[in-house]
Structure 1
Amino acid sequence: MEHVKEGFITVTGGKVWYRITGKGPGIPLLLLHGGPGMKSSDSDPLRQLGTERPVIQYDQLGCGKSERPEDASLWTVDRYVEELGQVIRALELEEIHLLGHSWGTMLAASYLFTKPPGVRSVIFSGPALDAQRWERDQRAYLKQFPEQVQKTIEESESQGTTDSDDYQQAMMQYYKTHMCRVEPWPDELSDDLDQLNPNVYNYMWGASEFTVTGTLKHFDATERLHEIDIPALFTCGRYDEATPEATEQYASLVPDAEFHVFENSSHMPPVEEPEAYVETVREWVNRQEMKPGA
């Protein structure tokens, strides 16, 4: 791996870890990981773009290599938006391309609604821009599974036994269809899921993908997506938890946005179709920089 710089940035509530891969001449690409409560991927294929432009990852507060304070009042969209601004200022990033994945798309949209300067373009990867729709879409998917899987998940959630082996096995069937279809799962993906901070996930989202009970329960950016006035690309996998129908609808709400489906992926195209994912992102950011007046 070529030039890599790591460090910590002080933000509201603690310190967050960041990594910059590459020193290419292009406008930096800043990645917002999913979750809430997940971490940056060490093997993210987008790091390959470092020869063309700096690729910046950071673990949001409470996640990964960043500090994990116990104060639940920190787990708000507004504070994560504030944190993103603090990271951008600390790294002296005058211009960026912004890419959010899953919960990271909620963060990206919320940040853009503050009308920050210097964002050249945005990519919404596997977007979760309406929590109620996400819950409905997962429940519709669940109906396609064997009766026993549905029953195990529903009973475990209603009885609060989501730490049981039966529940974990049922969820794994679901994840292997709609989260990551690579067989077997890469060790890093399993490890990353193991490192998820349940305090952040449960507080902001809930017990599982099917049941939103946390502070994001009523998150819905759709009424404001028309305010995004920079180039926007919406992507998802054909079998994604962020369904192609939902993703295309979000794209239709942003002026001149583009929409792309990875045909052999679910929610993790960077793992399932890394070459296609990198090429799509590369082509997009390069095209934005070649526009007249850019």
Structure 2
Amino acid sequence: MSIKEGFVEVTGGKIWYQIHGSSQQNTPVIILHGGPGSSHYSLQGLRILAEERPVIFYDQLGCGKSDRPADTSLWRLNRFVEELGHLRNTLYLDEFHILGHSWGTTLAAAYYLAHPKGVKSIVFSSPCLSAPLWAKDQEKNRKRLPPDVQQILTACEENGTTDSAEYKEATAVFNSYFVCRLDPNPVFLKNGAQYKNPDVYQIMWGPSEFHVTGNLRDFDCTSSLKDILIPTLFTCGRYDEATPVSTEYFSSLTPNAKFHVFEKSAHMAYLEEQEEYVRVINDFLKNQD
């Protein structure tokens, strides 16, 4: 299977991309990773989708193999939308599917609503399409944690010590419930930490998944979901921080949508139930070609 990689010039620097598969196959799919400030690293197993179509990974500016500029004004949604447009134009993509995961779904929705032409379908994987609703869901999720963990989280947030070791340890407990339920956590995931940029995450989102203080805190595109007219697939894990209730709600607002829950997963079904995840995604994309 062919692999091609390179860099694209965008506002603020260069971003790295990698294409698996050939242009002779079905419509390509662009993978939008989570974060903000993570990388394609944890999603790289989705290269198996290249048996059917070209799979395009890229690291958003500021993380992974892409440039890491110091200009903090770059960390805003509209620039990331523009960045995806630069990638699309450089790769001469007339038609393509989008698979966004977590923050990648925020970016996918924002991109499509601004530039719908050529987007054939969207997979909203563990979606964050309303930061206020996400924050409310995490308030409920936190109440399911052990009382001592809840107390540490609240105290650190109130005292401004969210960079402390105890806050990080308490956050790890939250993550074991609602982000990745594999026990032990794959060593593979730990190796990917070097590709993350916590500064981008802090500026755009906040100190943790459940304490939303960044510039995305008011993002909410639920009123625009009615305008996404292409086929869409909404997925989440049964124990996902992107809760089944909210994910199904987003699906209900979208005209041509399907909804699927991965019963043994939290937020990383593409790792927790990889075989089933790939099957569901492949089936959906094949039906759109």
Return closer, same or farther for 1:282/1:240 CA change in 2, 3 Å cut-off: same
**Partners of 2:158 and 2:59 in 1: CA distance:** 32
Q: How many angstroms does 1:157 deviate by?
A: 1.7
The aligned residue for residue 93 of structure 2 is 93
Amino acid at match of 1:4: I
**Partners of 1:287 and 1:112 in 2: CA distance:** 20
What's the secondary structure of 1:140's corresponding residue?
helix
Q: How many angstroms does 1:43 deviate by?
A: 5.9
**Partners of 1:164 and 1:73 in 2: CA distance:** 26
What's the secondary structure of 2:191's corresponding residue?
helix
Q: How many angstroms does 1:42 deviate by?
A: 6.0
Amino acid at match of 2:50: G
**Partners of 1:258 and 1:90 in 2: CA distance:** 31
2:110 pairs with 1:110: yes
Q: How many angstroms does 1:179 deviate by?
A: 0.3
**Partners of 1:197 and 1:88 in 2: CA distance:** 24
**Partners of 1:274 and 1:55 in 2: CA distance:** 16
> How many pairs were matched up?
288
**Partners of 2:242 and 2:193 in 1: CA distance:** 18
Amino acid at match of 2:143: K
The aligned residue for residue 269 of structure 2 is 269
Matches within 5 A, 1:134-153: 134-153=134-153
Q: How many angstroms does 1:265 deviate by?
A: 0.3
Amino acid at match of 1:238: R
RMSD across aligned positions (CA): 1.2
Q: How many angstroms does 1:78 deviate by?
A: 0.7
Contact kept? 2:42, 2:189, Cα under 8 Å? no
The aligned residue for residue 49 of structure 1 is 49
TM-score (normalizing by structure 2):
0.97
The aligned residue for residue 170 of structure 1 is 170
Contact kept? 1:157, 1:207, Cα under 8 Å? no
Contact kept? 2:32, 2:108, Cα under 8 Å? yes
**Partners of 1:139 and 1:188 in 2: CA distance:** 29
The aligned residue for residue 3 of structure 2 is 4
**Partners of 1:125 and 1:275 in 2: CA distance:** 15
Worse-superposed segment, 203-212 or 215-224: 203-212
Contact kept? 1:45, 1:278, Cα under 8 Å? no
Where structure 2 has 5 or more consecutive residues not aligned to the other structure, the ranges are none
Amino acid at match of 2:15: V
**Partners of 1:121 and 1:38 in 2: CA distance:** 24
**Partners of 1:150 and 1:238 in 2: CA distance:** 22
The aligned residue for residue 128 of structure 1 is 128
Return closer, same or farther for 1:121/1:43 CA change in 2, 3 Å cut-off: closer
The aligned residue for residue 233 of structure 2 is 233
**Partners of 1:194 and 1:155 in 2: CA distance:** 29
Amino acid at match of 2:7: F
Amino acid at match of 2:281: V
2:18 pairs with 1:19: yes
**Partners of 1:185 and 1:19 in 2: CA distance:** 26
Contact kept? 2:33, 2:100, Cα under 8 Å? yes
Deviations 1:54-89 (A, max 9, x none): 100000001111001111111111110000010001
**Partners of 1:44 and 1:67 in 2: CA distance:** 19
Q: How many angstroms does 1:165 deviate by?
A: 2.4
The aligned residue for residue 219 of structure 2 is 219
Q: How many angstroms does 1:258 deviate by?
A: 0.4
Q: How many angstroms does 1:180 deviate by?
A: 0.4
What's the secondary structure of 2:203's corresponding residue?
helix
Worse-superposed segment, 208-217 or 105-114: 208-217
Where structure 1 has 5 or more consecutive residues not aligned to the other structure, the ranges are 290-294
**Partners of 1:277 and 1:84 in 2: CA distance:** 24
